[in-house]
Chain A
Amino acid sequence: SQQGEEDPQALSIQEGENATMNCSYKTSINNLQWYRQNSGRGLVHLILIRSNEREKHSGRLRVTLDTSKKSSSLLITASRAADTASYFCATPPPGGTSYGKLTFGQGTILTVHP
């Protein structure tokens, strides 16, 4: 089964609103990453949060991590139509090795209406 499960599967909002996506995982992690994928394109790394961090910001992105609940959330503030994309959480395998072997969640499809 997938390490990461995200919800909602799809989110539709108006420009200017905030978008929140959630990710749950099963095993211990060293870090959790969020990626963005525009339709039909490759994935782009957005932000990484380490297991000893609780919150991290990057521009309009805010990521939180709760290791006790094995969950993370990605908040996009003041959304724009250009934020329309799929968003995935991903985790490397536990143990501190083979970091590139990421396990991805199923993703949240975000649609921002102008």
Chain B
Amino acid sequence: SQTIHQWPATLVQPVGSPLSLECTVEGTSNPNLYWYRQAAGRGLQLLFYSVGIGQISSEVPQNLSASRPQDRQFILSSKKLLLSDSGFYLCAWLGQVNTGELFFGEGSRLTVL
């Protein structure tokens, strides 16, 4: 069966420090992968998505970047964190291509101080 892993689960970083959040998927090949951010436990905002290795699409201008160095690996990064980058980051893969059902990881909570 397919599983999705995210780490770290919790991260506290100072303003101006770098960031790297990792997401890996098991049990599927060539998945469409997504990074969403959730602020204050409310709705999710799509940040990036990837349909294959090296293919990244950004949905909103921001201080973050994403990379897909391997088929089942999706990384969210920042060179210098801002206070506004705090939030709950969720990685997801597209389980049903023709309907859009997403399977989510357990999330990474980032606090920037």
Inter-chain CA distance A102–B107, complex, in Å, is 17
User: Is the Cβ of B43 less than 8 Å from the Cβ of A31?
Assistant: no
B53 to chain A, nearest CB (A): 17
Listed stretches B14-22, B64-72, B94-102; interface member: B94-102
Inter-chain CA distance A50–B41, complex, in Å, is 27
- Between B59, B101, B106, the greatest number of chain A beta carbons within 10 A of the residue's beta carbon is seen for B101
B34 to chain A, nearest CB (A): 6
- Between B6, B45, B88, B99, the greatest number of chain A beta carbons within 10 A of the residue's beta carbon is seen for B99
Report chain A residues within 8 Å CB of B92: 43, 100
A42 to chain B, nearest CB (A): 4
User: Is the Cβ of A42 less than 8 Å from the Cβ of B99?
Assistant: no
User: Is the Cβ of B99 less than 8 Å from the Cβ of A88?
Assistant: no
Q: How many residues of B contact A (CB 8 A)?
A: 30
**Chain B interface, >50% SS class:** strand
- Between B32, B41, B95, B103, the greatest number of chain A beta carbons within 10 A of the residue's beta carbon is seen for B41
User: Is the Cβ of A100 less than 8 Å from the Cβ of B44?
Assistant: no
Listed stretches A14-22, A53-61, A70-78, A104-112; interface member: A104-112
Q: How many residues of A contact B (CB 8 A)?
A: 28
User: Is the Cβ of A92 less than 8 Å from the Cβ of B100?
Assistant: yes
Report chain B residues within 8 Å CB of A69: none
Inter-chain CA distance A104–B47, complex, in Å, is 13
Inter-chain CA distance A45–B93, complex, in Å, is 12
A:1-38 near B, CB below 8 Å:
2, 4, 30-31, 33
| Contact pick for B99, options A41, A48, A101, A104, CB 8 Å | A48
A63 to chain B, nearest CB (A): 14
Report chain B residues within 8 Å CB of A41: 106-107
Residues of B in contact with A (beta carbons under 8 Å apart): 6, 32, 34, 36, 41-46, 49, 59, 88, 90, 92, 94-107, 109
